[in-house]
Amino acid sequence: MLLEFQCSNHKSIKEKVIFSMIAGSDNTSEELLKEFSNFRVLRSAVIYGANGSGKSNFINALSFMRDLVSNSINHQPGQGVFQARHKLSAKETPSEYNVQFVRNDIRYAYGFSVKQNLIQDEYLYYFPRGRKVKIFERIGLEVRPGDRYKGVFDLSVSILKDNRLFLSCAANYSNIKEIEEAFMFFNSDVVVYNPEVNNWTEYSIELMQSNDTIKKAFVDILRALGIGAKDVKVKLEKIKISDLPQELQLPDALKSLLGTKEGNKIEAKIVYDQFEVDLMTEESTGVKRLFQMICPIIDILNTGKILIFDELEASLHESLIFQIVQLFQHYRKDKFAQLIFSTHDTSLLDTDLFRRDQIWFTQLNTKERATDLYSLVEIKNVRKSENLEKGYVSGKYGAIPMLNKTFFHELEEVF
């Protein structure tokens, strides 16, 4: 589970922002929370804000941290670390990323900073029985292991470079359980979906092929939405490029470049009462989106992962979003998955759906074009029974686009 994330100097985020999945003092809907140690942890959170206010940049910062942990081991000599610093930050100002999370009932704290496209510092601690223990601290290329870990990082240090995270190196060149657990949190547990980049069609087909329960759940959801499907037929198999059907053959120059490489051959059909429809070429965009999203979401719920989603309404109908949030909130007690998403859909601002500490806003400081991130809890005089949608639309909580009062008058003069 994710407990807290902090970052600074990342795109529109100039000064440090803090995002927390730890519940506040509000005792509303206590049954929706997960107790861990002295914390009460939230299962979902939503982020609102005007276009350009930094919602996507905040999610991008989380994604950047995850990807750098997973992939920096592959960085070659001379290859700098991409630093998406704020436009008004000095070149020597570091970009910082810090996270606290839980894996297998142990809390970890991990962070690093990037300065002038190189790793400046890094640390990893964990908290067995609630007590802080240093696993390592790193400044430049100097690694300082904790007392329990002296002498076990020698091989990992030997392959460390100033463009690689030590966590990535140690996860690949040591056999330390705590290192592996921390690495796997980023590499496996955090799932970031961006509709402009991700396509989960193959993911869905693989899940349906291997798990009849997920396949049945997908068909049941289609029926519940009034789509009327009776079944779904799926097939995913490896195929050599050279074995493609004649009508799909590639130009000779491209075939010689790809050589004997393999690709995935996808077949997916939605079965209705009197006919079946090819998903890729004949089905509606809405059903294609459902096919991509529903099965992975079921898998994320069952495996207790963290789904981070930018603009959820861009992929799913608002009524389905409401049901998905409810699903994360009320899923089986023995499972704990989390959903963090941004949206413009104000109909979700409902005290029957979210506690106040689950609602977050991004607002842009227009002078420096810098993002501020804050929770509804931080705003004074917000009653538990308040109409949150009305309060947000009226501008009470900030974070919405406010046109200049003379805008329409000036527009009339132009035309």
pLDDT digits (tens, 9 = 90+) for 311-327: 887 767 777 788 889 98
Where residue 259 falls among pLDDT bands split at 50, 70, 90? low
Mean pLDDT of 222-244: 79
Planar angle of CA 298, 303, 307, nearest 5 degrees: 65
Give the CATH number for residue 371.
Answer: 3.40.50
Looking at the structure, tell me whether residues 37 and 157 fall in a common domain: yes
**Which segment of 190-194, 195-199, 273-277 scores lowest on mean pLDDT?**
195-199
Mean pLDDT of 364-389: 91
Residues 6+ apart with CB under 8 A from 286: 317
Looking at the structure, tell me whether residues 158 and 281 fall in a common domain: no
Whether residue 83 contacts residue 116, with contact meaning beta carbons closer than 8 Å, is answered with yes
Looking at the structure, tell me whether residues 225 and 333 fall in a common domain: no
Sort residue 83 into left (φ over 0), alpha (ψ -120 to 50) or beta. Answer: beta
Whether residue 198 contacts residue 191, with contact meaning beta carbons closer than 8 Å, is answered with no
Mean pLDDT of 149-153: 94
Looking at the structure, tell me whether residues 161 and 221 fall in a common domain: no
Mean pLDDT of 18-46: 93
pLDDT, residue 244, reads 54
Of 306, 308, 231, 303, give the one whose Cα is nearest residue 272.
231
Percentage of the chain surpassing pLDDT 90? 61
- Residue 405 pLDDT > 90: no
- Residue 357 pLDDT > 80: yes
Domain stop point among 250, 282, 303: 303
Residue 287, domain extent: 201-303
Domain stop point among 276, 303, 330: 303
Mean pLDDT of 391-410: 70
pLDDT, residue 106, reads 96
pLDDT, residue 276, reads 93
Looking at the structure, tell me whether residues 183 and 316 fall in a common domain: yes
Where residue 223 falls among pLDDT bands split at 50, 70, 90? confident
Q: Centre a 10 Å sphere on the Cβ of residue 268 and count the other Cβ atoms it contains.
A: 21
Looking at the structure, tell me whether residues 253 and 378 fall in a common domain: no
Looking at the structure, tell me whether residues 224 and 340 fall in a common domain: no
Whether residue 30 contacts residue 9, with contact meaning beta carbons closer than 8 Å, is answered with no
pLDDT, residue 144, reads 97
Query: What separation in angstroms does the CA of 76 have from each of 80, 171, 261?
Result: 9, 18, 25
pLDDT, residue 377, reads 93
Q: Centre a 10 Å sphere on the Cβ of residue 15 and count the other Cβ atoms it contains.
A: 13
Domain stop point among 253, 285, 303: 303
Query: What separation in angstroms does the CA of 145 have from each of 122, 139, 148, 156?
Result: 12, 12, 8, 12
pLDDT, residue 168, reads 98
- Residue 333 pLDDT > 90: no
**Which segment of 154-168, 192-206, 353-367 scores lowest on mean pLDDT?**
192-206
**Which segment of 103-112, 150-159, 170-179, 188-197 scores lowest on mean pLDDT?**
188-197
**Mean pLDDT, rounded, of the chain:** 88
Looking at the structure, tell me whether residues 123 and 172 fall in a common domain: yes
Looking at the structure, tell me whether residues 173 and 262 fall in a common domain: no
Tally of domains within the chain: 2
pTM for this model (two decimals): 0.88
Looking at the structure, tell me whether residues 100 and 210 fall in a common domain: no
Mean pLDDT of 223-234: 87
Looking at the structure, tell me whether residues 249 and 161 fall in a common domain: no
Sign of the dihedral defined by the CA atoms of residues 342, 17, 2, 57, in that order:
positive
pLDDT, residue 322, reads 86
**Which segment of 50-59, 217-226, 301-310 scores lowest on mean pLDDT?**
217-226
Looking at the structure, tell me whether residues 236 and 175 fall in a common domain: no
